[in-house]
Structure 1
Amino acid sequence: MPRIEPLPRESLPQYEDTFRAVEGALGVLPNSTLTMARRPEIMEAFARLNAVVMAEGTVGGVLKQLVATVVSGAAGCAYCQAHTSHVAEQRGADARKLAAVWEFEDSPLFSEAERAALRVARGAGLTPNAVTDDEMADLRRHFDDDQIVEIVAVIANFGFLNRWNDTMATQLERSPLAWATDRLQDAGWEAGKHAGS
């Protein structure tokens, strides 16, 4: 059960443009957005930031979603793991790669560049941050400074979302919950407090 109830979408017609944009990017309007709508300026500011950070840039959208999945898993946020892996598949991620994301170090499905990015994401999701100088140097072998800024922006963006959704016990929506239950449980994923009542 969420610790603060999301507002009903139909009670907020003035924010429908924002809701449609978020829903278009994710395939679902997250309950986290409807909870943030209690303070519309926070919701709209975060929606804009998230759209910029997660857009296809010099780093591909699938890799951004994989980075978001790994940082969320390292931080322990089941809500964000469900969303990010589901969106990764919608953006064209190979299902086998998604299933093996936690074996990225050894799986032949991942390139050295992907491993470097996911290694940094994993370390950044821990508290305290465990990213080493060697891991950043390895990241630099595969990505330029502008790309590294994009990757770290994804990590930082999900630092906010991981804290938000775990603290609020945000209830997963039907489609990401069903997707994660079907595809991530064998890798140890559980909805936990995000399953709802």
Structure 2
Amino acid sequence: MSSNVIEAAAGRRQEIFAAISSATGTDDAVKAVSHLLAVSADEAREVLRAPLESFVGATSEQPDASSPSSFALHPFRDSDEHNALYKARSTDASSATGGTWDESRTEQERREGLKRIDSESAMWFVAVDGARGTQVGLVFGEQVDDGDVDVAIWIHPEERKKGYGLLSLKESRRELAAFFPGKHVIVRAPMAGDK
């Protein structure tokens, strides 16, 4: 892929991240990126596969001064509050689950995720707007076979279009780079059936 496409995507990263975060699946994300950058579908897919570092710079990058200082990612815990948020995501038709998970499937996936967290092959976070004391979404960091880390973000439907997706990407990059040093952090558009 031409470095010009990555540079163009990096220059419009807020729009790119917003499109990825609100995409209903891979095809939707490809179309959105292709339209935003006026590139082919193949080039858009390459943008989606590029490491997050290609878009947000080195780890020494200073936080955006306009970002709410009260926004934070908290580790996902086996608690009633966090479990309720996970259940909300499992029934959201626009999430990677397609909204089709029943209570049994949701509980099974949650328990398997907690096992991966315990084995340090995954990190899950709850996105929190501290100023409002509100949990606004979830971030899933999963180490894949080649060692890279896939990142998926789900923002509660009532909290979308407020910048939480971009804030979650920025914060998760910092957190996951510390937890999985030397690994590429890759944002992938969700597909139905994913964790």
| Category of TM-score, reference length = shorter chain | under 0.3
The structure in which a higher percent of residues are helix is 1
Higher relative contact order (CA 8 A, sep 6+): 1
TM-score scaled to structure 2, two decimals? 0.25
Q: TM-score, normalised by structure 1?
A: 0.25
